[in-house]
Structure 1
């Protein structure tokens, strides 16, 4: 799949996920440097794939989902980026993020490749949203064509109902 960054074409590596698929497993790194896998997560989950948590669009997206997550019951929201766990923890602390968990794909790039969001040219993750139900079935997918744009928040929230 091709995506753009400020209009410049980029190539995504890995396998794209579709609604109805079983969510692919992955191992990433939590803020405490311990592994986090799909199997460590439960219930309804939102996985936000972002290029870098410390950029304007990513900042807006995570803050929006932090606010929305506080209104949802039995839903966990995860933001996954290539940012180091230390940077993610620092940013969350400074931004007051309490309802979104951050994990880093910097080490093995498994999330990026298993979900088809690894940007080969930049070594970053593309912007995408995946909603996974209690049975590990993917119920919503949004790959943004232009990675500087925000996702469809309303559609994501509707998929959680």
Structure 2
């Protein structure tokens, strides 16, 4: 855990430095080398075959599957950048992970899940992305999203890295739909095989209704 957090901090420092004007070529080369070494150290430990922009992508870590416990990490929950463990309560949870809220497919599916969240107040619905909380808040305000809660993994990427949801090449979360029971055990999961396609929300909701009985 400490090693992963350290690597994430290194990655953030590298990206931050990369956005500043460099005066020494050697420094730029050094940073580039460290960045490449870090990215290369991220390994796939699964058999997932997922595509993005018609190209295969690598999902870091082990494939999350039914029966697994979700790895709990703090996530940013608002524009004050406050962090919270959303898995603390004893509620059934629906997690929708995606590359970004502000894309056509993600937007459509988030709105559908928002409607379902309003119909099922006893169940917690979350959309988890690497978008900043500011971008998430803007999207939710503009689209009247007030049922499903937008949560951000932007700071340390720990949710994606530790739960087999992080796209190595893009630094984003892959599209997946997950249902957890009250003890945060995975009861349902769909990894969408092509990022341009939608998750099967109808199938997940049908499972959810059976689970509630």
RMSD, aligned α-carbons:
1.3
Per-residue deviation, residues 62-119 of structure 1 (Å, max 9, x unmatched): 0010111111241111001110000100110000001010111111111111221111
Aligned length: 161
Alignment counterpart, residue 72 of structure 1, candidates 117, 120, 125: 120
TM-score normalised by the chain length of structure 1: 0.94
TM-aligned CA deviation for residue 41 of structure 1: 4.3
Give the structure, 1 or 2, with the largest relative contact order (CA under 8 Å, sep 6 or more). Answer: 1
Runs of 4 or more consecutive aligned structure 1 residues displaced over 6 Å after TM superposition: none
Under a length normalisation based on structure 2, what TM-score does the superposition of the two structures give? Answer: 0.72
In the alignment, which residue of structure 2 is the partner of 1:4?
A: 51
Is 1:111 the counterpart of 2:165 in the alignment?
no
CA contact (8 A) 1:15 1:113 kept: no
Counterpart position of 2:192: 144
Are 1:160 and 2:208 matched, yes or no? yes
Alpha-carbon contact 1:80-1:103 (below 8 Å) kept = yes
Q: Which runs of 5+ in 2 are unaligned?
A: 1-47
Q: Find the residue that maps to 1:46 and give its secondary structure.
A: strand
2:87·2:184 contact (CA, 8 Å) conserved in 1? no
Name the stretch that deviates more: 24-33 or 86-95.
24-33
Aligned residue in 2 for 1:22: 69
Q: Distance in 2 between matches of 1:18 and 1:75?
A: 21
| Larger proportion of helix | 2
Q: CA deviation at 1:38?
A: 3.9
1:58-69 equivalences under 5 Å are: 58-69=106-117
